[in-house]
Amino acid sequence: MKQQVNRLQPFFENVSFDRDDNHMVVNFGPQHPSAHGQLRLILELEGEEVIKATPDVGYLHRGMEKMGENMMYNEFLPTTDRMDYIASTSNNHSFALAVEKLINVEAPRRAKIIRVMLLEINRIISHLFWIATHALDVGAMTIFLYAFREREFVMDLMEDYCGARLTHSAIRIGGVPQDLPEGFIESMDKFIKQFPIDIKDYEDLLDKNRIWKMRLEDVGVIDQEMAQSWGVSGPALRATGFQWDLRKESPYEVYDEIDFDVPFTDSCDSFGRYKLYMNEMRQSIKIMAQCIPLYEASEAGVMAHAPEYISASKEEIMTQNYALMQHFVLVTQGMRPPVGEVYSATESPKGELGFYINSQGDPYPYRLKVRAPSFWHTGLLQDLLPGHQLADVVTIIGNLNIVFGEIDR
């Protein structure tokens, strides 16, 4: 058969799994207990040492970007939940922010504060999930259940606000769907007081645990050069010594009014990243605590007023003829943003999450592209894994906080 010249490298179909050079080629996934979803990693092993790693993605591909091009902007928002399903609010927010930038609408102040609260709650949910599964991969089973209990409490907060626990859709284009429910501030305050003690619990179990240190220290070393050439972002980038956080670098919402640190370290290894995640949860708590007085000082109103793009309030729709008409058009045909393109990046729990939208003035985006941090971290694996032991592969995959919903989209 004549070879097709234009076929994309590499040929996964042509990987020979039976070799006679003492190397073993194994399929790590897609159905592997620690493949974190649907990662297929083709590993060439010499004994237990990895000499070549080829990550193969696409087993969870749902064509989200294409779906986005065939959906109205508001319709697509709940779909973004299904990308990084561990931190759905950060996806919602990133998309909503991009559209807001496109239509040049700003959310009201109270909505911005609520968004920051939700985003930080979400960051804690995501980081707790990370420490739980990462520890389970390394073998520390108890941490898994400890972290999951606190995760339940944070998810209860989320449930109080939007009714959902996994796919929140808690943010709308132009604001947030509702004001904080009664008692939310109190229960959040209770959580803010309790959670640092719980973080201390995890650290007591892990920080001085010799085996935990043996497994994480000097494993998966990503230096600055590697991080830059592979587009690494988020905690993995901050562990290389860059103090880079989009919340500080290009502040959105009310992050510029809030006093918080960006933890960073130059240890470059998995243990440094673990410490970063722990400190980031502390910072999230700090941010949430500062949001409460800001919230109380803000005036009511959680949706922007831009009747051309965003439906007016229920009351207006019910009382004013023109508002009803606009609402009808917005629901049946969707908003028509001006012609233009926009890229907006936010700091999701996993790194830089960006949405690129190209609008031709139609109710549907002409092109929608997502820059998901995990995708880049997966590509990195082929440079990072060779030279490590098979057991380290699990540590590194877990440590990079890869979520497949967002890689395959």
Partner 1 sequence: MNENAMIIETIIKAVTILAVFSALAGFTTYIERKILAFMQRRLGPMHVGPAGVLQIAADGIKLFTKEDFIPQNAVKPIFKIAPVITAATAFIALAAVPILPEFILPFTDYVVRPIVADINVGILFVLGAMSVGMYGPLLAGMSQSNKWGLLGAARTVIQLLSFEVVTGLSLIAPLMMIGSLSLIDINNYQTGGLSDWLIWSQPVAFILFLIAGFAETNRTPFDLLEHEAEIVSGYATEYSGMRWGLFFIGEYANLFTVSFLVSIIFLGGFNPLWFIPGGIMILLKISFFIFLFLWVRAAWPHVRPDQLMWFCWKVLMPVAVINILITGIVLI
Binding site for partner 1 (CB under 8 A): 24, 26, 32-34, 48, 135-142, 145-146, 149, 205, 209, 211-212, 214-215, 389-394
Q: In angstroms, what CA-CA distances link 375 with 42, 157, 159, 407?
A: 17, 29, 29, 5
H runs (alpha helix) in 167-265: 184-206, 210-216, 224-229, 235-238, 246-249
N residues, the chain: 409
Q: Give the Cα-Cα-Cα angle 150, 155, 161 (nearest 5 degrees).
A: 140
Per-residue burial over 314-327, b if 16 or more Cβ lie within 10 Å, else e, is eebbeeeeebeebb
Q: Given the complex with partner 1, which of 179 and 201 has the nearer CB atom?
A: 201
Task: Work out how close the CB of 214 gets to partner 1 at its nearest, in angstroms, rounded to a whole number.
Answer: 6
Strand positions, DSSP E, 6-141: 24-28, 40-46, 49-56
Closest CA relative to residue 42, chosen from 372, 386, 409, 391? 386
User: Whose Cβ is closer to partner 1: residue 26's or residue 317's?
Assistant: 26
Cα torsion 341, 345, 348, 350: sign:
positive
Closest residue by Cα to residue 109 from 307, 310, 344, 299:
299
Name which of 63 and 139 has its Cβ closer to partner 1. 139
Q: Shortest approach of partner 1 to residue 398 CB, angstroms? A: 8
Nearby residues of 104 by Cβ (< 8 Å), 6 or more positions away: 338
C-beta closer to partner 1: residue 26 or 289: 26
- Strands 367-371, 351-359: parallel, antiparallel or unpaired by DSSP? antiparallel
Residue closer to partner 1 by CB (options 33, 183) is 33
Question: Closest separation between CB of residue 129 and partner 1, Å?
Answer: 16
Please report how close the Cβ of residue 15 comes to partner 1 at its closest, in angstroms: 14
CB nearer to partner 1: give 32 or 282.
32
Task: List C-alpha distances in Å: 228 to 274, 384, 407.
Answer: 20, 13, 19
The separation between CA 119 and the C-alpha centre of its own chain, rounded to angstroms, equals: 10
Between 166 and 391, name the residue whose CB sits nearer to partner 1.
391
Q: Which is nearer to partner 1, 136 or 291 (CB)?
A: 136
Strand partners, 352: 347
Query: Measured from the CB of residue 389, what is the shortest distance to partner 1 in angstroms?
Result: 6
Place of tokens 């070879």: 3
CB of 28 to partner 1, least distance (A): 9
CB of 83 to partner 1, least distance (A): 25
Cis peptide before 30 (omega within 30 of 0): yes
Beta carbon of residue 232, minimum distance to partner 1 (angstroms, whole number): 24
Q: Least distance to partner 1 from the beta carbon of 394, Å? A: 5
State which residue, 48 or 266, has the beta carbon closest to partner 1: 48
